[in-house]
Amino acid sequence: MAPALCAICKDARALIIRPKNHQKLCKACFIAIFEAEIHHTITTTSLFSPGDRIAIGASGGKDSTVLASVLKTLNERYNYGLDLVLLSIDEGIKGYRDDSLETVKRNAVQYDMPLKIVGYDELYGWTMDQVVEAIGKKSNCTYCGVFRRQALDRGAKMLGIKHVVTGHNADDVAETILMNLLRGDLPRLARSTSIVTGDESSEVRRSKPLKYAYEKEIVLYAHHKKLDYFTTECLYSPEAFRGSARSLIKNLERVRPSAILDVVRSGEDMAKLVPEEVTGISQCKSQKVSLSSADGEDEAAGGCGSTSGRNSGGEMADMEKRLKEDEEASAREIDVSAVAATAPNGQPHDRIAKVEPKKPAKQEAGRKLTRQTLGTCKKCGYMSSQDVCKACVLLEGLNKGRPKMEIEVSAEDEESSTLRREMEGLALAAG
Amino acid sequence: MTSEDKISILVEFTGGLEMLFSDERKHKLSVPAKDDKGKAVTVGWLVDYLCEEVMKDTRKEMFVLDGHVRPGILVLINDADWELEGEASHALQPNDNILFVSTLHGG
């Protein structure tokens, strides 16, 4: 069969079929269009400003390696004026992270970027190996995820950096949208679609410049550019629900490659239906980030000041009352309420008797929309949507020698409802 | 079987798949030019061959699911997406380079 020619240059042999539109491209045109699209994402969302210092959350894996490579290329090509730094988290998993960190160290040399490594050990006094020894393999992903998110913030703060970019790709975003959809968690769904999280009240913003990039294209980009990345599965068991969502996405992609971006777009459209008061993010952000507010002076004010940023956690009941009265919100809420009404016993709350009712409004009948507001943790002072962040709650449990069960479902992390169920089991076994 | 009936190819595994194949990234293979029905061997045939003859790991489902290469694993034939080359029906040529890349591991 005669080799297909590139649809753009009509000259070189096509090597790639783009999942989103079946376009057949040669290597050079593929690399060019992949970079141009990331540039488009960055410019249309006003993701960066000249002079910004950006920490790239670098694991040594394909996504963050491609992110670092592309950002370096674009920064030089289009004069973004960014100061790029690699920020790596050492979870303390022997035989896994120590190898991938070697990759990051090589990347730092290859891309001529400074590298900062922060360890769970120094931040929390626990390595993941020790955590798993204490709690077993069942819910360790939750600990690791909660710790990592905060570790990125803390690493960025150590560097005096206010913006962390991560390598989350379109497949990851689609997977998270599906998980939140399947859990009926619209507030979190809305947040997960946003290219930037964190607003004027947060000290460290996070963004996902690769959110429209297919995992397949990321891997092909890394392959064709011969990037040095690390691939080994984490030694500890992955979360089953996420794994199922992942398989579903990959199966859909095989039948209909555009499905991944379609899910991302559907998620963005659904996010618009979720009232702003519930998500804690302004509506415009899911499409277009208003940097005037996100880059505002509030950010420089430091941790404590930001708790007064929007609404404090204690106003939950008021908030929900107001929501009902708010005509505009209730109009938007129609679909949301319908979902809520048909979700029988969806709340893991129902099943746990020992949960301390820190926020009584949430424990009342039925499923209510819970508002997500970024504030700071009373204990450690880092970003949190609750009074005490989940990292501190988990840590307290670890330090007491026994996991606690007070994790709020409304928090940002993806796994907390699963955690609750698993914690329940653990507590029973331990008791 | 004489050497004329064999073709040599290079099979590579990356993206974490190498762990299923004795942690070896590159496998130089000499495979029969014809299958047991006398037809030229294809990439589809190769996938079965790899499962049966090369993979020591018992977790076949991490490579093949429901008779197909597992979704999320990219196959490149001489650096081109195998969809451009007829996918599983591509007839193996001497010195073909067949690369299997997993997109499923590590993030």
pLDDT of residue A160: 93
The answer to whether position B62 is within a domain reads yes
**Pairwise CB contact (< 8 Å): B74 & A216:** yes
Q: Which domains does chain A have, with CATH numbers?
A: 31-278 (3.40.50.620)
The answer to whether position B8 is within a domain reads yes
What residues in B contact A59, CB-CB < 8 Å?
106-107
User: For residues A219 and A347, which has the higher predicted lDDT (pLDDT)?
Assistant: A219
pLDDT bracket for residue A289 (50, 70, 90):
very low
pLDDT of residue A278: 67
pLDDT of residue A368: 56
pLDDT bracket for residue A94 (50, 70, 90):
confident
Residues A166-171, mean pLDDT to the nearest whole number: 95
pLDDT bracket for residue A85 (50, 70, 90):
very high
Cβ proximity of A91 and A99 under 8 Å: no
* Site of tokens 């048909």: A342
User: Distance of CA A33 to CAs A8, A37, A263, B54, Å?
Assistant: 10, 6, 22, 38
pLDDT digits (tens, 9 = 90+) for B46-78: 999 999 889 988 888 889 988 889 988 999 999
pLDDT bracket for residue B106 (50, 70, 90):
low
Q: Report ipTM for this prediction.
A: 0.91
Q: Which of B16, B81, B105 sits opposite A17 (nearest CB)?
A: B81
**How far is it, in rounded angstroms, from Cα A234 to Cα A93?**
8
Q: For residue A331, is pLDDT > 50?
A: no
Name the domain count of chain B.
Answer: 1
pLDDT of residue A230: 84
* Site of tokens 């947060």: A202
pLDDT digits (tens, 9 = 90+) for A174-213: 999 999 999 988 888 988 898 998 765 668 899 999 999 9
Sort strands A205-207 and B68-69 into parallel, antiparallel or unpaired: unpaired
Residues A251-266, mean pLDDT to the nearest whole number: 93
pLDDT bracket for residue A369 (50, 70, 90):
low
The pTM assigned to this predicted structure is 0.76
What's the burial of B107, exposed, middle or buried (CB within 10 Å: 0-12/13-18/19+)? Answer: middle
Residues of chain A numbered 245-264 and touching chain B (CB < 8 Å): 246-247, 250-251, 253-254
User: For residues A71 and A308, which has the higher predicted lDDT (pLDDT)?
Assistant: A71
To the nearest whole percent, how much of chain A has pLDDT over 70? 67
Angle at A209 between CA A208 and CA A213, to 5 degrees: 100
**How far is it, in rounded angstroms, from Cα A371 to Cα A276?**
9
The listed range with the strongest mean pLDDT (A31-45, A125-139, A221-235, A292-306) is A31-45
The listed range with the strongest mean pLDDT (A37-51, A377-391, B3-17) is A37-51
Largest CA-CA distance found in chain A, in angstroms, rounded: 70
* Average pLDDT taken over every residue of chain A: 76
The answer to whether position B28 is within a domain reads yes
**Pairwise CB contact (< 8 Å): A15 & B105:** no
Q: For residue A15, is pLDDT > 90?
A: yes
Q: Is A155 on the interface with B (CB under 8 A)?
A: no
User: What CATH number is attached to the domain comprising B39?
Assistant: 3.10.20.30
pLDDT of residue B94: 94
**How far is it, in rounded angstroms, from Cα A129 to Cα A137?**
10
User: For residues A111 and A1, which has the higher predicted lDDT (pLDDT)?
Assistant: A111
- Work out the minimum CA distance from B48 to partner chain A, whole angstroms: 20
Q: Please enumerate in sequence order all residues whose Cβ is within 8 A of that of A310, keeping only pairs 6 or more positions apart, or say none.
A: A199, A201, A280, A373, A374
Residues A18-25, mean pLDDT to the nearest whole number: 94
pLDDT of residue A373: 64
Kindly report each contact of residues A389-395 with a partner whose C-beta sits within 8 Å and lies 24 or more positions away, as own/partner: A389/A150, A390/A146, A390/A416, A391/A124, A391/A146, A391/A147, A391/A149, A391/A150, A394/A142, A394/A143, A394/A146, A394/A147, A395/A124, A395/A125, A395/A126
* Closest-CA residue of chain A to B83: A17
Q: Please enumerate in sequence order all residues whose Cβ is within 8 A of that of A29, keeping only pairs 6 or more positions apart, or say none.
A: A6, A7, A8, A9, A12
Q: Is A4 on the interface with B (CB under 8 A)?
A: yes
The answer to whether position B96 is within a domain reads yes
- Structural domain including B92 reads 3-102
Classify residue B7 as left (phi > 0), alpha (psi -120 to 50) or beta. Answer: beta
pLDDT of residue A424: 45
The answer to whether position B107 is within a domain reads no
pLDDT bracket for residue A145 (50, 70, 90):
confident
Q: For residue A282, is pLDDT > 60?
A: no
Q: Which of B84, B99, B104 sits opposite A4 (nearest CB)?
A: B84
- Amino acid identity of residue A323, one-letter, is L
pLDDT digits (tens, 9 = 90+) for A310-330: 333 333 444 444 444 444 444
Residues A3-31, mean pLDDT to the nearest whole number: 94
- Work out the minimum CA distance from B72 to partner chain A, whole angstroms: 6
Q: Is A34 on the interface with B (CB under 8 A)?
A: no
pLDDT of residue A413: 46
The answer to whether position B23 is within a domain reads yes
**Pairwise CB contact (< 8 Å): B102 & A231:** yes
What residues in A contact B72, CB-CB < 8 Å?
215, 246, 250, 253
Burial state string for B80-104 with b = 16 or more CB within 10 A and e = fewer than 16: bbbbbbebbebebeeebebbbbbbb
